Amino acid sequence: MLAGLPGLAGAAGAGADPALAAASPEVRRTVLGIKASQDNAGAPFHVIDKKQARLFAFDADGRLLGTTAVLLGAAIGDHSVPGIGNRPMGQIRPEERTTPAGRFVSEQGKNLKGEDVTWVDYDNAVSLHRVRTGKPAERRLERLATATPDDNRISYGCINVPVAFYERHIRPGQRSKRPAVIYVLPETGSATNALAPGS
């Protein structure tokens, strides 16, 4: 599934970062592969495990800064529907609300409401942003606080993180002037963009 990332083969287990002991084998393999190949090219990076609904934030040297639960697209799937970034949210069907998997070089910017966000896939309008609580019935804060990932699928495809985590580890200018590389691990076996250098 992730064999395209140099250094990934056989990278699980021995030598794994103790701070990642609770992470899934896929996350540990990916992180070790990124470090071995320097695929992040001197930039901070984030690894998102969709199956477990968790984000792991690293500095440019590959040191784990923190981890948090995240909210993801309501639908299972690793690809964005073509042209979805140009459609009004009201026209996006439930089965189209996916968070794409792959390797993305993030961009800092603003959404249509003027909020600063971290764009994961600008063309498809997928961003990493602070959790939104404007619709109490969605119980987004409660979903983030539960012990399992079973209720973390609620968004249209964007990745929601707790406000304090966003301010400390994600927000523009906090730790690096270089845009973070974001690795979103597939949950169905394939990715929008290959998890490999230059993709």
Q: pLDDT tens digits, residue range 55-106?
A: 999 999 999 999 999 999 999 999 988 878 777 887 788 888 999 999 999 9
Token code pair at residue 34: 């990124």
Q: What is the pTM of this model?
A: 0.86
Q: Please indicate, yes or no, if residue 7 is contained in any of the structural domains.
A: no
Q: Please indicate, yes or no, if residue 78 is contained in any of the structural domains.
A: yes
Q: What is the CATH number of the domain that holds 153?
A: 2.40.440.10
Give the 3-state secondary structure of residue 164: helix
Token code pair at residue 130: 């602070």
Domain extent, residue 180, equals: 42-185
Alpha-carbon gap, residue 51 to 24, rounded angstroms: 9
- As for how many domains the chain has, the answer is 1
Q: Please indicate, yes or no, if residue 143 is contained in any of the structural domains.
A: yes
Token code pair at residue 71: 């909210």
Round the average pLDDT of the chain to a whole number and report it.
Answer: 85
At residue 175, does pLDDT exceed 60?
A: no
Q: Please indicate, yes or no, if residue 120 is contained in any of the structural domains.
A: yes
Nearest to 163 by CA among 125, 127, 140, 129: 129
Q: Please indicate, yes or no, if residue 192 is contained in any of the structural domains.
A: no
Q: Please indicate, yes or no, if residue 3 is contained in any of the structural domains.
A: no
